[in-house]
Copies of this chain bind each other. A is one copy, B any other.
Amino acid sequence: MMNRCMFRTASLRSRGASRIPSDIGIRRRVASIAFNWEDPLAAAELYTEEELAVQDTARQFSQERLLPRVLDAYRNENYDRRILEEMGEIGLLGATINGYGCAGASTVASGLIAKEVERIDSGYRSAMSVQSSLVMTGIDKFGSPEQKDIFLPLLAKGKLLGCFGLTEPNHGSDPGSLETVAKEHPLKNGYYSLSGTKTWITNSPIAELMMVWARLEGTGKIRGFLIERSQCPPGALETPAIKNKTALRASITGMIQMDNCPVPGANMLPDAEGLSGPFTCLSSARLGIAFGTMGALEDCIHRARTYALERKQFKGNPLAKYQLVQKKLADAVTVAAYGTLAATQVARLKDAGKAVPEMISMTKRQNCDMALANARVYDIPSVLRRNIDCVEIFGGNATSDEYHIGRHVANLFVTQTYEGQSDIHTLILGRAITGVQAFV
A322 touches B440 (CB 8 A): yes
Contacts of A337 in B (CB 8 A): 342, 362
In the assembly, what is the distance between CA of A293 and CA of B42, in Å?
Answer: 22
Complex contact A433–B177 (CB within 8 A): no
Residues of chain B with a CB closer than 8 A to A429's CB: 40, 326, 329-330, 333-334
Interface-located stretch among A51-59, A240-248, A265-273: A240-248
Residue from the list B176, B327, B342 in contact with A41, Cβ < 8 A: B342
| Complex Cα gap A402–B243 (Å) | 10
Are B37 and A432 in contact, with the CB atoms below 8 A? yes
**A394: Cβ under 8 A from any B Cβ:** yes
A383 touches B342 (CB 8 A): no
**Chain B residues with CB below 8 A from A406, complex form:** 245-247, 410, 413
Q: Once the chains bind, are B433 and A45 in contact (CB under 8 Å)?
A: no
Q: Which residues of B contact A71 (CB under 8 A)?
A: 244
Bound complex: CA A432 to CA B40 (Å)? 9
Would B440 and A440 count as touching, CB distance under 8 A? yes
Q: Which of A2-10, A106-114, A384-392 contacts B (4 or more CB under 8 A)?
A: A384-392
| Chain A residues touching B, range | 35 or more
Interchain CB contact under 8 A, B33 and A354: yes
A434 at the interface (CB under 8 A from B): yes
Copies of this chain per assembly: 4
Question: In the complex where A35-B358, A314-B174, A440-B321 touch, is A42 in contact with B399 (Cβ < 8 A)?
Answer: no
- Closest Cβ of chain B: how far from A374's Cβ, in Å? 12
Given contacts A279-B388, A417-B394, A437-B386, contact A426 B168 (CB under 8 A): no
The 24 listed contacts between A and B (C-beta, < 8 Å) are A40-B432, A167-B396, A173-B385, A174-B383, A176-B314, A200-B396, A244-B401, A246-B398, A279-B389, A320-B435, A323-B423, A326-B427, A326-B434, A329-B429, A330-B362, A338-B342, A341-B345, A380-B423, A384-B424, A389-B420, A389-B428, A390-B421, A394-B421, A395-B414
Task: State the A residues within 8 Å of B (CB).
Answer: 33-35, 37, 40-43, 45-46, 71, 75, 166-168, 171-177, 199-200, 242, 244-248, 253, 275, 279, 282, 305, 308-309, 312-315, 317-318, 320-327, 329-331, 333-334, 337-339, 341-342, 345-346, 349, 352-356, 358-359, 362-363, 365-366, 379-402, 405-407, 409-410, 413-414, 416-440
